[in-house]
Amino acid sequence: MRDRVFLSCPTMHGEEQEFIKEAFDTNWVAPLGPNVDNFEKEMSAYTGAAHAAALSAGTAAIHLAAILADVKQGDTVFVQDLTFSATCNPFAYEKANIVFIDSEYDTWNMSPEALKKAFEKYPNPKAVVVVHLYGTPAKLDEIMAICNEHNVPLIEDAAESLSSTYKGKQTGTFGKFGIYSFNGNKIITTSGGGMLISDDEEMIKKARFLATQARDPYPYYHHTHIGYNYRMSNITAGIGRGQLIHLDEHKAIKKAIYAQYSKAFADIPEITMNPLNPDGDSNCWLSCITIDDSSNVKPMDIVNALAAENIESRPIWKPMHLQPIFENSDFISVKDGISVGEDIFNRGVCLPSDVKNTKEDMELIISIVRSLFGK
């Protein structure tokens, strides 16, 4: 059987090994170390964020953002519904009342209209959590205006959108807190890891404190806060530093993949590519399609046809309000009983978007999809 074609997987270049070797040569294996310090500085320089804390996962970054936003048991938090569960799980850790906000078709991200409606029902949430799905920036001007009107902090889940910009500014840098993920499938990876960013220096200092078991500055172990083992290792950060060098290169390839799919399916009216915000520049982390309801071809037909050739694809994220674990959470949509996110999920497929896709890989993927539509 042919080699597996993945949806998106790590792509190493060589510089990663140099930073790792330096860590071994200097015995800076753990804890923390120069790679961590420099990775934070380099990420701050790239994104324009004033301060950054390197952490063990994007989920850890969201959890610390929740704590720093003072989210406590019973507090209401508005979270984008169409996302991966890691966006909302940390708020469940804190036993918050999670209210899911529907998406809109223009970007697939949080609907400003649904967000306004949520504030009418729940006037005092502790935070709003927006996601830049598949790398496409949300309608940040509108969402920020609503948050500012109600004096509620915005947390940006930019796990999928590192290097994407909105009106020239990096996603993740608009809200009170931004988070990035370096999971193995992201545009750059540290094997696993994340970053919390903010322009508030004291908040990032507190994040680092909480992430290192909240050890108070005493000559013995003394704790006045609950702490977490959330810091990134010096080895992992070395991988990240080597990857960051190639971030823009990866973005260019991802965008080229999206463009190739767009051109290849332009003559199939049943297929629509995932939208790109005209006010932004997406990293096109994953190229996705939706299929018109009138088509005889269904998303799983595409997934199964590609799988038969050892090619990975998958459905769009299943909205959170449809997850059994969150069945008791409220869900706010613009029109009651109509879920944009559910419609996208029912009709959507994520196509292979790995930066290592060869010309032959892309031609095979495209030919399989086209053949299902009689092309």
CATH class of 248-372: alpha beta
Give the single-character DSSP code of 97: E
Q: Cα 142–145–151 angle (5° rounding)?
A: 145
pLDDT number for residue 2? 76
Q: Is the pLDDT of residue 1 over 70?
A: no
pLDDT 10s digits, 138-149: 999 999 999 999
Within the chain, all domains assigned CATH 3.40.640.10 are found at 15-244
Residue of 97, 104, 99 lying closest to 335 (CA atoms) = 104
Q: Cα 163–306–276 angle (5° rounding)?
A: 30
How far apart CA 66 and CA 132 sit, in angstroms, is 18
Give the single-character DSSP code of 326: G
pTM: 0.97
Within the chain, all domains assigned CATH 3.90.1150.10 are found at 248-372
Distance from first CA to last CA of the chain, Å, rounded? 25
pLDDT 10s digits, 305-338: 999 999 999 999 999 999 999 999 999 999 999 9
How far apart CA 233 and CA 32 sit, in angstroms, is 5
Tell me phi and psi for residue 254, to 5 degrees: -60, -40
CA distances from 222 to 32, 64, 67, 205 (A): 20, 20, 20, 18
CATH class of 15-244: alpha beta
- Mean pLDDT, residues 66-71: 98
| DSSP, residue by residue, 288-319 | EEEE-TT-S--HHHHHHHHHTTTB--EEPPPP
pLDDT 10s digits, 246-293: 999 999 999 999 999 999 999 999 999 999 999 999 999 999 999 999
Side chain identity, residue 163:
S
Residue of 184, 162, 188 lying closest to 243 (CA atoms) = 188
